[in-house]
């Protein structure tokens, strides 16, 4: 590892499992101290911290539901209080509730917006007072922003399309402050959100590479966006999908 993030502090929302945990691990391997939030996976959160500490890194687990704006703000405040600063925010927390439009529950609609869109805005707004020049704002979107691909994904697609649009707008707002804003758009990836083997088998022939992605591959793109070599990259929604959209 290059330790390109030595001395930096990052917060990753939704970092106890899947892609989030891989991002936390990768950023700590690059030298950053990393706080991360979780909601229900307390045991997995402890395991992530213990593994990182055993390897000489520094990690902090914070219980916070991204659907609660106050909890998001408190997670930012606690990160700064306990780790001393904030340089990198990775908005990774997200939920997927499928449903056809004629039967979709409005409570599910509101929760999808709250977690996948509003929480991103709230976290960025709360982080900005602590970010200096060179700060990094990164959000996990999805290729469904460009191609839903299957029935029942309209609301999820809408939320990820909103993330991509927000990223472009915020890049304009924050460019003069030398803060970059980018999103990543993973395609089909092996995670516990996508643990249906029948679905994976259906998707593999659609991938140019003939396979689904791994969480560590997604985390590698986040590490690049968090590091110094991405300083001229902002306002982008970067697809990492094994050729799913090709």
- Residues paired with residue 37 on neighbouring β-strands, in sequence order: 62
DSSP structure class, residue 4: T
Please indicate whether residue 104 is annotated as part of the active site: no
Q: Is residue 41 part of a domain?
A: yes
Full residue range of the structural domain in which residue 194 is found: 9-240
Catalytic residue among 38, 104, 156, 224: 156
Q: Using CA atoms, how far apart are residues 210 and 5, in angstroms rounded to an integer?
A: 33
- Tell me whether residue 246 is in a domain: no
Cα 200 from chain centroid (whole Å)? 22
- pLDDT tens, residue by residue, 186-232: 999 987 666 677 877 888 899 999 999 999 999 999 999 999 999 99
Does residue 2 belong to any structural domain of this protein?
no
Instruction: Domain count for the chain, please give it.
Output: 1
Question: pLDDT value at position 49?
Answer: 98
DSSP 82: H
1 occurs within a structural domain: no
Q: Give the domain CATH number at 157.
A: 3.40.50.720
Express each pLDDT in 112-168 by its tens digit.
Answer: 999 999 999 999 999 999 999 999 999 999 999 999 988 999 999 999 999 999 999
- Name the helix (H) or strand (E) containing 63: strand 59-63
């Amino acid at each position: 590892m290059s330790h390109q993030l030595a001395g930096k502090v990052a917060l990753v929302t939704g970092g106890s499992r899947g892609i989030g945990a891989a991002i936390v691990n990768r950023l700590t391997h690059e030298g950053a101290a990393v706080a991360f939030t979780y909601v229900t996976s307390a045991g997995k959160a402890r395991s992530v911290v213990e593994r990182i500490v055993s390897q000489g890194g520094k990690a902090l687990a914070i219980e916070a539901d991204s659907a609660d704006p106050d909890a998001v703000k408190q997670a930012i405040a606690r990160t700064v209080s306990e780790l001393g600063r904030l340089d990198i925010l990775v908005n990774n927390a997200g939920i997927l509730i499928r449903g056809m439009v004629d039967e979709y529950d409005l409570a599910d609609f509101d929760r999808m917006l709250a977690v996948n869109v509003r929480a991103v805005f709230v976290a960025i707004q709360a982080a900005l007072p602590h970010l200096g020049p060179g700060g990094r704002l990164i959000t996990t979107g999805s290729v469904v922003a460009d191609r839903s691909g299957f029935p029942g994904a309209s609301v999820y697609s809408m939320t990820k399309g909103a993330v991509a649009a927000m990223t472009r707008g915020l890049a304009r707002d924050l460019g003069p402050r030398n803060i970059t804003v980018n999103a990543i758009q993973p395609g089909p990836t092996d995670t516990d959100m996508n643990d249906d083997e029948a679905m994976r088998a259906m998707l593999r022939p659609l991938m140019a590479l003939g396979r689904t992605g791994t969480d560590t591959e997604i985390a590698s793109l986040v590490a690049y966006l968090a590091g110094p070599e991405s300083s001229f990259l902002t306002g982008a929604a970067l697809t990492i999908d094994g050729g799913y959209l090709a």
